[in-house]
Copies of this chain bind each other. A is one copy, B any other.
């Protein structure tokens, strides 16, 4: 079962996901954790502190997961493939946490908000750098890097909105479809530079 703090955190994740942060009362969290609400304050300074803990550990875990999946992958197209796969997979496997990270930032006070957004911006920059490098090297079609990165990241992130653990498609299957949609279709030059002189007709 883990420590009491972990129990509280898990209960909070479920409730923030189901009812939203503001609609969740400390008494709700206490009930689901099988303790009295006053006991929560031994582990967390405030309700916001619980939210902040969830947001930061989720964002850090995502960042570490992607880094690990990219380790040793050199070719820029393959890096992008691995990154999209990892991002989508993480959003299927940690659906509740990432949805909270997406919708409950308004529950943070200024200082905590800045700390979280700094992590998120650094994460997004990794994708923007990959896209820019891919364009430079002629692997990806030219375009507005910022907009393309937003398009890709938001569509991959939104998988958490509709993914159903017991649905038709598994997280791995969806990752594969998205890898293809994003890299093969959305990003890649349909006619790579080095193949421009190679006829596609084989008659």
A interface with B by C-beta (< 8 Å): 18-23, 103, 106-107, 141, 143-144, 147-148, 150-152, 154-155, 157-159, 161-162, 169, 174, 177-178, 181, 185-187, 190-191, 196-201, 203
Determine the chain B residues whose CB is within 8 A of the CB of A21 once the complex forms.
20, 22
Given A22-B22, A143-B177, 5 more contacts at CB 8 Å?
Answer: A20-B22, A22-B23, A158-B158, A190-B190, A197-B203
> How many monomers of this chain does the complex have?
2
Taken together as a complex, chains A and B put the C-alpha atoms of A143 and B180 apart, in Å, by 10
Shortest Cβ distance from A146 into B: residue: B168
For residue A35, give the distance in angstroms from its CB to the closest CB of chain B: 24
Bound-state CA distance A123–B185 (Å) is: 25
Q: How distant is A170 from chain B, measured CB to nearest CB, in Å?
A: 12
CB pair A154 B150 closer than 8 Å: no
- CB neighbours of A158 from chain B (8 A): 150, 154-155, 157-158
Given A106-B20, A181-B143, A196-B190 contact (CB < 8 Å): no
CB neighbours of A157 from chain B (8 A): 158
- Bound: A185/B152 CA distance, A: 13
Q: Which residues of B are found within 8 Å of A177, using beta-carbon distances?
A: 143-144, 147
Residues of B near A185 (CB, < 8 A) are 141, 185-187, 190
Bound-state Cα–Cα, A197 to B196, Å? 16
- Check B147 against A106 for contact (C-beta < 8 Å): no
Q: With A103-B103, A186-B185, A190-B190 as given contacts, are A178 and B151 in contact (CB-CB < 8 Å)?
A: yes
> Across the interface, do A147 and B174 meet the contact criterion of CB distance under 8 Å?
yes
Task: Say which residue of B20, B141, B150, B154 sits within 8 Å of A20 (CB atoms).
Answer: B20
> Residues of B contacting A22 with CB < 8 Å?
20-23
- With A151-B178, A185-B185 as contacts: A19 and B196 at CB distance below 8 Å: no
